[in-house]
Amino acid sequence: MPLSIEQKRANFRKLHESGCFVIPNPWDAGSAKLLAGMGFKALASTSSGFAWTIGKSDNHVSVDDVLAHLKVLSDATDLPVNADFEAGFAKEPEGVAANVTRGVATGVAGISIEDSTGDKSAPLFEFKLAVERMRAARKAIDATGQNVMLVGRCESYLVGQPDLKATIERLLAYSEAGADCLYAPAIKSKDDIVAVVKAVAPKPVNLLVGMPGGMSVPEIADLGVRRISVGGALARSAWGGFFRAAREIAEKGTFTEFANAVPHPEINAKFQ
């Protein structure tokens, strides 16, 4: 019997209490089911991975499309799903709150709100407004009465403003505004990671790992990180195989890349 939404949400919150877990990012029901079958304990959506499946670039998908996608992911497995909800699909706190309320209704167990504007001339929302937006998201979740976690994301490193002090200042403000988990994508050095973990403790920290090499899961866990996500990296890996095979056909007229494909019986058996 499928788990209830309430149980998924309770399981998700429990995962954040101790230890370190990997929260991989599927982009459709099939990838979600495959990941669930591999023993992962939770999943997270990926804005980029989903956007590519509908032929759009990252951050150019409508809130309605994302909400429908989150419902698909949440219904696909018994695992809790954390929503990559970008910047809440609104600038003003009231708009963020309204969209977060709709996000909760999809059945997700967590919702991430970031402070990126998408404007290269001013890539982050002004500090006060960013905090107000986070507070509005918290109030919206609380008003639903649902046990949904709020993840506060500071995008400073991701938009080319790698100021550790300023990043921590924002994360602490988001924590105070009600974020349950804190996240600064693109921080990489051990010193920076540890500094963030210590600054926001006892609240958990999410770390993004999207490139090859670097630290292993045990090494990251030793830094005090609670959860590890991979963003669009799994989707990019899948597209990588597609690109290589399609380019070979288009440019050489040969099909040798198909040797790297998953055999039909193996992948088909995953969806019985």
> Are 11 and 68 within one domain?
yes
Please give the DSSP secondary-structure letter assigned to residue 178. T
Q: Do 195 and 263 lie in a common domain?
A: no
Identify whether residues 132 and 243 lie together within a single domain: no
Total structural domains in the chain?
2
Q: For the sheet containing 149-153, what is the strand order? A: 21-23, 227-229, 205-208, 181-183, 149-153, 110-114, 81-84, 43-44
**186 shares a domain with 103:** yes
Residues 256, 187 share a domain: no
Question: Which segments within the chain are labelled E, that is strand?
Answer: 21-23, 43-44, 81-84, 110-114, 149-153, 181-183, 205-208, 227-229
**pLDDT digit string, tens, across residues 126-166:** 999 999 999 999 999 999 999 999 999 999 999 999 999 99
Q: Which structural domain, as residue segments, surrounds residue 243?
A: 233-272
Q: Are residues 203 and 135 in the same domain?
A: yes
CB 139 within 8 A of CB 151: no
Domain match, 148 and 264 both: no
91-98: long-range contacts, CB 8 A cutoff, minimum separation 24: 91/117, 91/125, 92/133, 93/129, 93/132, 93/133, 93/135, 93/136, 94/136, 96/133, 96/136, 96/137, 96/140, 97/136, 97/137, 97/139, 97/140, 98/140
Q: Residue 164 and residue 56: Cα distance in Å, rounded?
A: 32
Report the CATH number that the domain containing residue 62 is assigned in CATH: 3.20.20.60
**Each residue of 71-130: pLDDT tens digit?**
999 999 999 999 999 999 999 999 999 999 999 999 999 999 999 999 999 999 999 999
Looking at the fold, whether 84 and 97 belong to one and the same domain comes out as yes
Q: Are residues 219 and 239 in the same domain?
A: no
Question: Same domain for 87 and 190?
Answer: yes
**Are 216 and 257 in a shared domain?**
no
- Model confidence over 206-265: pLDDT tens digits? 999 999 888 999 999 999 999 999 999 999 999 999 999 999 999 999 999 999 999 999
The verdict on 208 and 261 lying in the same domain is no
